[in-house]
Amino acid sequence: MKKFKIVLFEPEIPQNTGNIARLCACTGAELYLVGKLGFVLSDKYLKRAGLDYWGDVEIKHLNSLDELMQQNVDANIYFLSTKAKKLYTEQKFLPGDIFIFGSESKGLPEEFITEYIDISLRIPMKAGKRSLNLSNTAAIVLYEAIRQTDYI
């Protein structure tokens, strides 16, 4: 069965990435780290957040979102952004889908949301709030995809 893919574009906080690595290990999802990281992969906070799950997660590091897009031309790709119009619950997911999340402080580049608005999704939030925690957001979306597909 095709694995879901969680993509973190230029993540900045090692604890979030560690938590997401643990999420991927527990669900069988692959983890892609794209672009410049705000930490080194040997960071103690990253390792601590991922606990002893590091051997159970597939991690790939790519230089750019364009590289990711070129490697996955036949995949369903979704950009998660507070600027998206469509709710994540309105989308029908399939095994192998790719979920791209932006950095904690900047989100995804504006040009990606503009260009890919039709495949951009958001999680509803109370008006006036900026964003949810990155690792919480990844878990919400991944578990909705798992629920829809009976993946686990």
The residues spanned by each domain of the chain are 5-149
CATH fold of 5-149 reads Alpha/beta knot (3.40.1280)
Beta strand extents in 35-151 (DSSP E only)? 59-62, 77-80, 86-87, 98-101, 120-122
With residue 8 as reference, give the H or E element that holds it: strand 5-9
The predicted pLDDT at position 50 comes to: 53
Tens-digit pLDDT profile for residues 32-81: 999 998 877 775 665 665 556 777 887 899 999 999 999 999 999 999 99
**Tokens, residue 116:** 């890919």
Q: How far is it, in rounded angstroms, from Cα 48 to Cα 44? A: 6
Select from 135, 100, 103, 105 the least CA-distant residue to 119.
Answer: 100
What's the pTM value of the predicted model, to 2 decimals?
0.92
